[in-house]
């Protein structure tokens, strides 16, 4: 995918075959998210969820950064009362949680730096493929901000207690090799191989059984949060044993061909 800049706008949705791509599109401001973007992102997630032809989502940014995070001035302007302050923080948290809970598998194409709240937006994706020049930092401690609880939980469950403390409490910037080491990045690649790596993973995910993946993703996320509905997960397992996907999967395996789900 080209990172050629165009007129700044709300997030852009592109659909090609079974793949949807959402691109943050304010490159002059490092794709900083504005309050109005939150509703737009939620609507795009709903559209993707409602379209059974979409099997994978790629989230990326235009230009040299993935995203500089949520506009803190926007938060400050709305924080004239405790109620409005809560709604501003909760609105962003709700968007990130919605992304995490999407049924389709998600890939964050980290085309550059990721900062502030957008580190959590990327972390809510199932996979993060980043360029060698990527960097990240979480400045909450420097700004006097206590981060919202679901974001802290995501850091802890995905990166571990010690890494979460290092990133939140020191507010220090780290580069792509360290992002890879702590598990923030799934893969690190040179810029000229970024699309190739994303395309390869997207093709794998788009070719696997969608209902089986959806159910397992839900179980994994619930388990990570300590909220596993074992009964529901067991029922999905039992249903899968009688479903159409397993029939096609077994037939394809026997015939030594790719399955057609």
Chain segment 30-86, per-residue pLDDT in tens: 999 999 999 999 999 999 999 999 999 999 999 999 999 998 765 555 555 555 555
How many Å apart are CA 30 and CA 159, to the nearest integer?
A: 25
Give the whole-angstrom CA distance, residue 222 versus residue 239. Answer: 19
* Structure tokens, 168: 């939140």
What is the structure's pLDDT at 207? 96
What separation in angstroms does the CA of 9 have from each of 31, 32, 37, 72, 133? 9, 11, 9, 19, 25
Mean pLDDT of the chain: 92
Residues 218-245, mean pLDDT to the nearest whole number: 96
CATH H superfamily, domain 12-205 = 2-enoyl-CoA Hydratase; Chain A, domain 1 (3.90.226.10)
- Report pLDDT digits (tens) over 123-176: 999 999 999 999 999 999 999 999 999 999 999 999 999 999 999 999 999 999
Report how far residue 237's alpha carbon sits from residue 179's, in angstroms, rounded to the nearest whole number: 34
The answer to whether the beta carbons of residues 16 and 51 sit under 8 Å apart is: no
> Quick one: pLDDT at residue 4?
47
Question: Given a cut of 80, is residue 87 above it in pLDDT?
Answer: no
Give the tokens for residue 111.
Answer: 């085309």
Q: Which residues contact 206 (CB under 8 A, 6 or more apart)?
A: 17, 18, 19, 55, 56
Q: Degrees (nearest 5) of the Cα angle 193, 195, 196?
A: 65
pTM (2 d.p.): 0.91
The angle subtended at Cα 112 by Cα 132 and Cα 116, nearest 5°, is 120
**Which of 22, 195, 9 shows the shortest CA–CA distance to 111?**
195
Task: Determine the average pLDDT of the residues in 114-129.
Answer: 98
How far is C-alpha 4 from the geometric centre of its chain's CA atoms? Answer: 22
Q: Tell which residue, 71, 226, 49, has the closest CA to residue 154.
A: 226
């Amino acid at each position: 995918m080209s990172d050629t800049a165009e007129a700044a706008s709300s997030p852009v949705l592109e659909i090609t075959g079974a793949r949807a791509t959402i691109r943050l599109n304010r490159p002059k401001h490092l794709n900083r998210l504005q309050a109005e973007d939150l509703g737009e992102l939620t609507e795009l997630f709903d559209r993707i969820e409602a379209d059974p032809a979409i099997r994978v989502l790629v989230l990326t940014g235009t230009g040299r950064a993935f995203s500089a995070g949520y506009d803190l001035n926007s938060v400050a302007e709305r924080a004239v009362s405790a109620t409005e302050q809560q709604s501003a923080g909760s609105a962003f948290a709700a968007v990130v949680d919605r992304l995490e809970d999407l049924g389709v598998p998600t890939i964050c194409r980290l085309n550059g730096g990721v900062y502030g709240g957008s580190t959590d937006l990327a972390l809510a994706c199932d996979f993060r493929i980043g360029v060698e020049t990527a960097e990240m930092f979480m400045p909450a401690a420097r700004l006097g901000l206590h981060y919202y609880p679901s974001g802290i939980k995501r850091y802890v469950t995905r990166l571990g207690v010690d890494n979460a403390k290092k990133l939140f409490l020191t507010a220090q910037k780290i580069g792509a090799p360290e992002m890879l080491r702590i598990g923030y990045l799934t893969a690190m690649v040179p810029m000229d191989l970024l699309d190739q790596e994303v395309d390869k993973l997207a093709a794998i995910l788009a070719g696997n059984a969608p209902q089986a993946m959806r159910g397992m993703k839900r179980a994994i996320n619930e388990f990570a949060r300590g909220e596993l509905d074992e009964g529901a997960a067991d029922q999905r397992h039992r249903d899968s044993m009688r479903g159409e996907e397993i029939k096609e999967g077994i037939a394809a395996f026997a015939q030594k061909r790719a399955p057609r789900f």
